Structure 1
């Protein structure tokens, strides 16, 4: 602000300064030369004032434009803030606040789409992600399969040992899943003790092998004070058919899962009646 006041003060006095210099220099003091001098000096002073103010407030204009575009374009976070005047301070403050907002939004999005116990995705996240994978599979002709599983007798674990032990079991299951899946696979906890794994570019037969490896890994895991081998899961495995939606897939996988439970639990059952050729 001090710069603007100083420039404005000097610009306003340009005609007076020019007149004083004109008189002291002994130039013609007739009305026409003096009037012409004052007019030119006034125009020059005004032009200098307007140009200087435009240069001073241009960063504020850039900031306003960037803020207007902020919902679609995050370039406001890259707006330079030169100097230490008020506009630079405002620019830095705005960038700092928006950076905090961005970090908070990412944190909230993560919390809204992640199961806090297992670190896997939740049902909402899975529902948002799967349609794009199914569309890609339909375009490329590649298979896509789903493994649905839940913990056997999980309610008994909570009733006998308490919910803290039950939570530890869920966390152990989450770690096993994260260790066993590929970077492009999707895994989510979609219910209390129910989990879903989406396997792009994976046939139903290959998914059965993956489910079997998971079954063995769960059975081998240990959480105190449970007995070794107490953590087991039942699995339903399906391969996506053409145009089949997620809910249809989950329904078929759920039927296979119940067959696994009826077969004695700790079992993998596949259902591929709608399998792609």
Structure 2
């Protein structure tokens, strides 16, 4: 057999390496004994037994060390997979070996990388409104839970801004749904461009949107909402005239531990006041809202 071919087979085959290592370890005592006797050393039984024992010990240690070295990447691979399941750490193993372990490690690393990318893509699709590029109600629910927990730990406020496009149904009825979709996309772009790095924006209904403003007092939330209101007024989506796109806003500073439903209910009551007062304006939530006005009968 071609020596180069034999060496290549051994180099690229884990089984060949293991069989070779075991063969050498098993026959090492015999080879050493033959060499010992052939060298003319004393053939006293004690000496021969000693040589055999030493050769056996050396062969065993060499065999176990070799086996450990051959399969060690498998342990590293298992540890990487476990870390991925615990904290999402990507599985990346740079092995230059071409044997079965190397092929397996590269295959698993590639598969886990593809799986991680697919999982992130699916999660993004599940939490993103495809039309506006903003989050959806599910993403907002998840964000509220984390921000409320942070607010409780750090003693900081969380303010919710709910806004609804004014007379949006008329745009769809008079200009078609394509124009309506263009309006929604334009609103989404304005929101994305003006969000602070720790804010969150979501489309939670047909023409209804919500802003989550962590570490923000109601007074600051009112100012932020008014900036958005003015920005929407300046937004032009042909064939609509400038100023046709407006929105009414409701602002509410959440109490500790409130759920998203509670926040939206209070912000929606403030939004109702804006609609009742003539639209295209910002209102804050007050306790009198719940007592003196009907819930969610907004003239939108």
* TM-score, normalised relative to structure 1: 0.87
Q: Deviations over 1:161-195 (max 9, x none)?
A: 33222211111001111222322222111111100
2:102 is the alignment partner of 1:97: no
Report the count of equivalent residues: 274
Q: Does 1:44 align with 2:37?
A: no
1:264 paired residue number: 278
Counterpart in the other structure of 1:189: 203
Deviation at 1:221, TM superposition (A): 0.6
* Separation (CA, whole Å) in 2 of partners of 1:202 and 1:39: 78
Moved more, 233-242 or 116-125: 233-242
1:199 and 2:213 aligned: yes
Q: How far apart are residue 79 of structure 1 and its match?
A: 4.4
Pairwise CA distance, 1:10 = 2.1
Unaligned runs of 5+ in 1: none
Out of 51, 54, 57, the position equivalent to 2:71 is 57
Would you say the 8 A contact 1:145–1:240 is kept in 2?
A: yes
Which residue in 1 is equivalent to 2:122? 108
Residue 42 of structure 1 deviates from its aligned partner by 3.3
| Structure 2 gap segments, 5+ residues each | 1-13, 289-300
Q: Does residue 32 of structure 2 align to residue 18 of structure 1? A: yes
1:229 aligns with 2:227: no
Residues 238-253 of structure 1 correspond to what in structure 2 (within 5 A)? 238-253=252-267
Could you tell me how far 1:98 is from its partner in structure 2? 1.1
TM-score (norm 2): 0.81
State the distance in 2 between where 1:242 and 1:15 align. 76
Task: Write the distance in 2 (CA, Å) between the matches of 1:255 and 1:233.
Answer: 15
In structure 2, distance between residues paired with 1:49 and 1:204:
72
After superposition, the Cα gap between the structure-2 partners of 1:212 and 1:70, relative to the gap in structure 1 and judged at 3 Å, is: closer
Query: How far does residue 72 in structure 1 lie from its aligned partner after superposition?
Result: 0.8
What is the CA–CA distance in structure 2 between the aligned matches of 1:59 and 1:139, rounded to whole Å? 42
Aligned-CA RMSD value? 2.5
Q: Distance in 2 between matches of 1:243 and 1:72?
A: 28
Task: Give the stretch that moved more between structures: 50-59 or 168-177.
Answer: 50-59
* Gap change, CA 1:66 and 1:5, over 3 Å in 2: same
Q: Which deviates more from structure 2 when the two are superposed, residues 189-198 or residues 220-229?
A: 220-229
The CA distance in 2 between the partners of 1:18 and 1:197, in whole Å, is: 80
Relative to 1, partners in 2 of residues 1:73 and 1:129: Cα closer, same or farther, differing over 3 Å?
closer
2:295 aligned residue: none
With over 3 angstroms needed to count, the CA separation of the structure-2 counterparts of 1:40 and 1:269, relative to structure 1, is: closer
Does the 8 A contact of 1:204 with 1:272 survive in 2? Answer: no
Q: How big is the shift at 1:29?
A: 4.1
- CA shift, 1:39, in A, is 4.3
Q: Is the contact between residue 90 and residue 116 of structure 2 (CA under 8 Å) also seen in structure 1?
A: no
Give the drift of 1:76. Answer: 6.9
1:208 aligns with 2:225: no
Q: How far has the Cα of 1:77 moved from its partner?
A: 2.1
The match for 1:127 among 120, 133, 141 is 141
